[in-house]
Chain A
Amino acid sequence: MKYTYYPGCSVGATANLYQDSINVVAPKVGVELEELQDWNCCGATAYMSVKELMSFAISARNLALAEPFHRDVVTPCSACYLVLNKTNHYFAEYPELRKKLGKALEAGGLSYSGNIRVRHLLDVFVNDVGPERLSELATKKLAGLRVAPYYGCQIVRPEEGFDDPDEPESMDRLIEAIGATCVEYPMKAKCCGASLMGTQEKLALKLCRELLANAVRADAHCIVTLCPLCQMNLDVYQPKVNGLFRTKFNIPVIYFTQLIGLSLGIPPRELGLHRLAVKMTKQMKDVLKGA
């Protein structure tokens, strides 16, 4: 299975541990990711807050670059997924926007006809690889590991996607397939505060506290996520949550590709797990060792 890979900006920096794990895990499960040459930033939520047509135009450049390859575009980042998808949908939905985007792309010697499907990496793992195949490949079943599956917002909303906007369950199936247990986690599609962590820190910390508290209350050994911003907020800012709310959370927040990597017997270091701000706890390591 071959895809055009759109990594996004975060996996080259704060989320490089995500990319580390994708590099080793994707080939092992038969997912071939060919990076889109000379891609540019999708614009995220910030560009859209200042300039609308420009943000659609820079996002559309990526789709135009990808179109000649006739393959699905796959991205590991929820924000990229949302923005590229939104551009696609609005391109189809609003003729006026389509006309203007066409002219803008033409100025760059590009064109786009709207025939590219944008997908999140989780979608590929769930629907193309599938839980059954992952279960076969998992040489080291993660029995006894209790996981809080956290999806966040932009992978399940607003477009009708591959999972439920309020109660997603696709990642749960992957986690169960490799032998781990999903805890009851009603916060799975709630907001982590996203970029409010930069601009309204206390507010974002409060949202993160709820997410962490619910996972800890459910006796989870770790939280598993799929979005660079969610991971950073819950991992890097966890000590700050503790400082502000006098809590003692110490729960690792890892990417779903890292969890799958562990079940494939890949050493933690190759999966980038040493880059976590909140390191894997002894309890989690013991469970993994015993598994």
Chain B
Amino acid sequence: MLEKDVVYESTLDHDFLDEIYALPGGQEIKKCIQCGTCSGSCPVGSVMDYAPRKIFSLIRAGFRDEVLSSNTIWFCASCYTCAVRCPKEIKITDVMYALKRLAVKEGKTRGRKAVVLSKNFVKMVNKYGRNHETELMTRYILEAELFNAFHFIPQGWRLFSNGRLPLKPHRMKNLDQLRRILKKVDELGEI
């Protein structure tokens, strides 16, 4: 843990900050005054490796690995409480999204179940144009929770027995158009 080990200046990544600045919304973290409103407002801050205020501080100090490998960015549920309360109006949730994408890009997501869920969600949308909740959960369980699958049975049954878990997906018609749009984005490159 950060508090116990000595971290040498030479092991820090001084380009990390510039990299974050280059991300959409990343410039904003310059404005952070370390007041802690975000951490105090966060409903899951108490179980994060580093609550949001610390994340901003770590970014500025160059703790690249600690930030990108932290559970913090994946525990953020996008409730936007910090974002509306931040006195410097930093779009904190957007910064968390940017960090999520950077962590995915760099493969710093071992054991992060939220990544499995997100990636399968994207698959659903690219396949049907819409999310198919039943297939999404099945894929997610097979990939991330195989040994824990029985654990999902009660709520699955509660949904199914009340007619809330359709087996067939709803497909959109003009999937071809959606795919052309996505292909174009791929050519343009992400933001």
Contacts and interface: CB of A to CB of B under 8 A. Distances in A.
Contacts of B159: 14, 232, 236, 277
A194 B79 contact: yes
A196 B43 CA distance: 12
B93 A107 contact: no
Contacts of A46: 117-118, 121-122
Contacts of B3: none
Contact of B185 (A15, A57, A199): A57
A46 B100 CA distance: 10
Interface residues of A, number: 65
B84 to A, nearest CB: 5
Secondary structure call for the A interface: helix
A3 B15 CA distance: 49
A156 B185 CA distance: 30
Interface in B160-180: 162-166, 170, 172-174, 177-178, 180
B104 A50 contact: yes
A24 interface: no
B12 interface: no
Contact of A50 (B79, B118, B164, B188): B118
Interface residues of B, number: 66
A61 B178 contact: yes
Given A49-B100, A103-B188, A41 B81 contact: no
B191 interface: yes
Interface in A235-274: 236-237, 239-240, 274
Contacts of B134: 13
Q: Which of A13, A106, A153, A232 counts the most B-chain CB atoms under 10 A from its CB?
A: A13
B114 A199 contact: yes
Contacts of A52: 24, 97-98, 101, 190-191
A237 B119 contact: no
Given A52-B98, A104-B181, A237-B155, 5 more contacts: A41-B125, A50-B118, A58-B182, A191-B43, A198-B137
